[in-house]
Chain A
Amino acid sequence: MSATVTEVVEELASEGYDRFHASHVAQKTHTALDETRRTLAELVETGALTERFEVICSNCGRTTQTFASAAEVPIGAEFECESCDRETFTVGPENVWISFEPTRELLVRVNRERGGSGGKKGLRQVLMTPLLRLCKRLTHATW
């Protein structure tokens, strides 16, 4: 019997995956992509997941920048891709891919429920992820 979307999300979280796409979850659950997206959106509303909006290069597909909300994505702006010898592309809706990240709340719950088995990576992530984000912000801060 196929796992549900929620079960797969919890499994990915406990294994330490810090972000994934809806297509990956849909593939694992053998569920239609639209239905998977709806469930993931519900998990975002309940606080189990957060959405991240990745701007991907039109040429090579690499993620150039990630935003915390759709409103922050600068549609129409010219972006530069370091992988493509700094060639530029105009950001359109097709360049924005949504990924989902397990929240601290989900990680803590999953690690508690699973008794820490296979969750060491996830627990480390619970502790390290906010610290890593702070370091990244400090690194990119301009004085």
Chain B
Amino acid sequence: MHLRYLTITEDELEQLRAQLDAVLDIYRGKDASGGFIDTVQYTRAQTCPDLAAEADFEDYIENYEQTSSDLVFDYDGFGSVRVRVSLINGSVWIRNAVPEEIIDHVFRAVLRVKG
């Protein structure tokens, strides 16, 4: 049996973020313009509700291709959940210890996005 990675595109990541009602907490990108920087990581300040909602954020990431992101959302009755999504290999990594119910919640959101 041959296994292959199911990739996630930037658009699908945005859809997943909407499905989970999550905020963009950490952005990781790789330079696409051939400059002296290879990769960058931008983290959300405590005063910022969502990196993706900041008007100036597009300027910061203009020359980068997104490689992975940390999405953070609140799950009712549990609290904050951090999910790291890789656009390199399509991995979805729940970074904190969560009950099975939340794993299913995230998995269902991914299935809705991927169709």
Given A18-B34, A19-B34, A61-B39, does the pair A92, B67 have CB atoms closer than 8 Å? no
Which of B18-26, B84-92, B97-105 lies at the binding interface? B84-92
Given A24-B63, A27-B62, A94-B7, does the pair A60, B39 have CB atoms closer than 8 Å? yes
Question: What CA separation (Å) do A26 and B102 show in the bound complex?
Answer: 38
Interface residue A63 (Cβ < 8 Å from any Cβ of B): yes
**Per-position binary interface string of chain A over residues 48-73, scored 1 when its CB falls under 8 Å from any chain B CB and 0 otherwise:** 00000000101011110000000000
B104 to chain A, nearest CB (A): 25
Question: What CA separation (Å) do A99 and B33 show in the bound complex?
Answer: 9
Interface residue A110 (Cβ < 8 Å from any Cβ of B): no
B78 to chain A, nearest CB (A): 27
B67 to chain A, nearest CB (A): 3
CB atoms of A17 and B35 under 8 A apart: yes
CB atoms of A20 and B32 under 8 A apart: yes
Give B29-56 interface residues, CB cut-off 8 Å to A.
Answer: 29-30, 32-35, 38-39
A residues contacting the other copy or chain, number (CB 8 A): 20
Q: Which of B7, B32, B39, B68 contacts A21 (CB 8 A)?
A: B32
Question: What CA separation (Å) do A19 and B5 show in the bound complex?
Answer: 28
Interface residue B28 (Cβ < 8 Å from any Cβ of A): yes
CB within 8 Å of B: which residues of A? Answer: 12, 17-21, 23-24, 27, 56, 58, 60-63, 92, 94-95, 97, 99
A-B contact pairs, 8 of them (CB 8 A): A21-B32, A23-B65, A60-B28, A60-B67, A61-B68, A63-B30, A94-B90, A97-B30
CB within 8 Å of A: which residues of B? Answer: 5, 7, 28-30, 32-35, 38-39, 62-63, 65, 67-68, 86, 88-91
